[in-house]
Structure 1
Amino acid sequence: MPSAQELADRVESGDLRLYELQDHADPKTAAEARRLLLKEETDADLDTVADFSFPAERADPNIENMIGAAQIPMGVAGPVPVDGSAADDDFYVPLATTEGALVASVNRGMAAIRDAGGANAEVLKYGITRAPVFSVADVKEAADVVEWVEDNEDQIEEVANATDPHIEYQEVTPYVVGDNVYLRLHYDTGDAMGMNMVTIASRSVAELIEDETPASLVAVSGNLCNDKKPAAINAVEGRGYTVAADVFLPSDVVEDRFGTTAEAIAEVNTRKNLVGSAKAGALGFNAHVANILGAAFLALGQDEAHVVDGSNAITSVEARDDGLYASVTFSSLPVGTVGGGTGLPTQSEALDVLGLAGGGDPVGTNGDALAEVIASAGLAGELSLLGALAGRHLASAHEEHGR
């Protein structure tokens, strides 16, 4: 087998391309050759990038042109008691981030939830979507296609379910815009987030529709799905997990943990998260759930781009006679415990901390539990930031932690 330096020299001379290195060497040697090439071309020092602990071949499904690994500090917050339909335990939540004070903030929110006896969490709805777009001659033809789809859902279900033993077709919602027909297909993908699964299933459904109707497939994703982009349709109809977490904090817990009152926190939430977000035309009416999602996604092997749709959440806070009620409802949280980055060693270990690595028994229960835990962590993060703002100690907290 050629050495890494020999392979790097061949790429530099134009004899090989970067992506062809894997055909001439094992993944570790190929990664080393790419680093040598980059050092020659850019004079960059990649010693730390090269210092990773997992076998390079474990990353084959997750990366192309691998040169090493990006190491992000990982902390843990908790424990947070969660009383959910799937998650019913005390959980330590791994969070990977470069933002100082974030883990400390979430930890403080979890401490308040713990003092209050724990958070409730429930998956309210589940279904991952893919929406192929078809072209037709005119609106009359579009109506005919929609009529065929609505009359033949049994065929659509049969074709979709045949593509994977772990996929379950749920329903289809047609949309017509002029000579465009969009079919928003909904699926249950068990413990997997399932984007690859639903794309393959939707391609087979699209081929059936092309065979049976005048419609012509333009793209297997027509952006009405809608993933990795801000979208009102996800806020209304949901995508992935629609999941909520809530807690009631007695007045003494609010005072002890946040140094403020229930009324002050409720006012901040109303004026900031609700009125301020509405004036800004925001889709998410929350303080910073993307912070918690981003850190949890990186630690737990989720697709980080789904922080965009995952942060489509509403935080609701109400001052009551004897304390504070708070909830966070996530309308479109696409997460899973199998597939994607969940099989990488670091992320698998982090899922083990939650006790949620791999598939659930029965299927789907680990994915449900992960959604409920992340929602509870998001609730903790919201409580902590709102408390810091109401108590006017957000800046001092960052100063204290040296950020």
Structure 2
Amino acid sequence: MAGNEEIIKKLVKGELKLHQIDNYTENTQEAVEVRRKFAEEISGANLKHLSQHSMDLEKAMKRNIENPIGTVQIPVGLAGPLHINGEHAQGDFYVPLATSEGALVASVNRGCTVTKAVGGTTVRIIDDKMTRAPVIRANSVTEALKIKEWIERHFIELKEASESTTRHGKLLKVDPVVVVGRYLYPRFTFTTGDSMGMNMVTIATEKALEILTRETGAHVIALSSNLCVDKKPSALNLIEGRGKTVVAEIIIPPEIVEKKLKTTVKAITEVNLAKNMIGSAISGSMGFNAHYANMIGALFLATGQDEAHIVEGSLGITTAEEQNGDLYFSVTLPDLPLATVGGGTSLETARECLEIMGVYGGGNVKKFAEIVGGTVLAGELSLMGALAAGHLARAHKDLGRG
């Protein structure tokens, strides 16, 4: 350890950088311990819990993390059975949710009991795409329009170039192509298979831009212009969609509403109008829903999704209507970037959580998307029921405060 103590001293003095430690230690585990001890040295904190894990950090360093010092532990609860009538997910599913918010798993679980009682929630994927939008500067608006016209006339060449970089990605369209002054914003839209596909479409778009710049002399300022729109709330994504666009719906007889949710059809529809519609409108929200972020966040953390996409996944609209005395209830998630392969899905705990739902690996991403949609519906329905019944504060007092 004398050698490691010397490394830590050099780190403290700034004579050595964190990313250089691997060159001075025998293996990844030793490098992790040195970095962690350095963090303890400069902070005075005891980091014993960060060190407790079964994850292969050497493997994770190749694609998931830099300068690792350990792992964070988040409790994982199980909700279900969630009954889904989908095109890809059919039957009962148990859903792992990683969260530290007391009452969330219990709330989703209550929503699941409603889906079971009425024979399931219908879930459909209505669109599937991933986008990347560069920003191009022309000499004038006239030149910008010429580049726009070139893009529209030469889609086949752009498609062939972009698809030469991937076996799974397919360029669907370049639309919209927005002109602002002399700046041009073309939105490249792809399908990406079971991968979430952000890296895939970035590389593919870059290849297409090589042809565009060569043929038009266009100057690409940045490969991402924010018109993508990646990892930010966006009206464009709310309207156009990104990732998987999913709708889940359910029809609940009034006796089930009263028995399972302890309220009435009329009360839920009134809360939805006043809260999710009018309340969201007056606050300028882009998500006309109660708490999609809770279910999206818990599922994303459990299954190794890109946690920054929780921002996008939280967009969406909840509807609640009386239909012949029954409650018609739906959730629409227009912007749900998901993966069952690649990225964080290969981490050991993420893989296990995906396997609980039977969706790990290739060919399962649409099944996973339908489960996510059903889970969001269950959680949203339960919270709306609690609000309508006046039970929200009581639930958090009982389950969230211990």
Give the TM-score normalised by the residue count of structure 2. Answer: 0.97
CA distance in 1, matches of 2:80, 2:173: 38
Match of residue 236 from structure 1: 239
**Does residue 1:176 correspond to 2:179, yes or no?**
yes
CA distance in 2, matches of 1:24, 1:211: 45
Match of residue 37 from structure 2: 36
Secondary structure of residue in 2 paired with 1:372: helix
2:103 to 78, 89, 101: 101
Distance 1:358 1:4, change over 3 A: farther
Shift of residue 339 of structure 1?
A: 1.2
Match of residue 259 from structure 1: 262
Match of residue 28 from structure 2: 27
**Does residue 1:226 correspond to 2:229, yes or no?**
yes
Taking the TM superposition and a 5 Å limit, the aligned residue runs for 1:140-159 are 140-159=142-161
1:53-80 CA-to-partner distances (Å, cap 9, x unmatched) read 1122132111111100010011011111
1:141/1:214 contact within 8 Å kept: no
2:101/2:400 contact within 8 Å kept: no
Taking the TM superposition and a 5 Å limit, the aligned residue runs for 1:339-358 are 339-358=342-361
**Does residue 1:376 correspond to 2:378, yes or no?**
no
Shift of residue 89 of structure 1?
A: 2.5
Secondary structure of residue in 1 paired with 2:49: helix
Match of residue 9 from structure 1: 9
Aligned length: 398
Distance 1:219 1:2, change over 3 A: farther
Match of residue 322 from structure 1: 325
Secondary structure of residue in 2 paired with 1:50: coil
RMSD: 1.3
Taking the TM superposition and a 5 Å limit, the aligned residue runs for 1:45-124 are 45-60=46-61, 61-124=63-126
CA distance in 1, matches of 2:274, 2:109: 25
Give the TM-score normalised by the residue count of structure 1. Answer: 0.96
Shift of residue 4 of structure 1?
A: 4.1
CA distance in 2, matches of 1:208, 1:6: 52
Distance 1:18 1:76, change over 3 A: same
Secondary structure of residue in 1 paired with 2:349: helix
CA distance in 1, matches of 2:56, 2:9: 24
CA distance in 1, matches of 2:335, 2:400: 34
Taking the TM superposition and a 5 Å limit, the aligned residue runs for 1:127-146 are 127-146=129-148
Question: What stretches of structure 1 of length at least 5 have no aligned partner?
Answer: 361-365
CA distance in 2, matches of 1:249, 1:7: 64
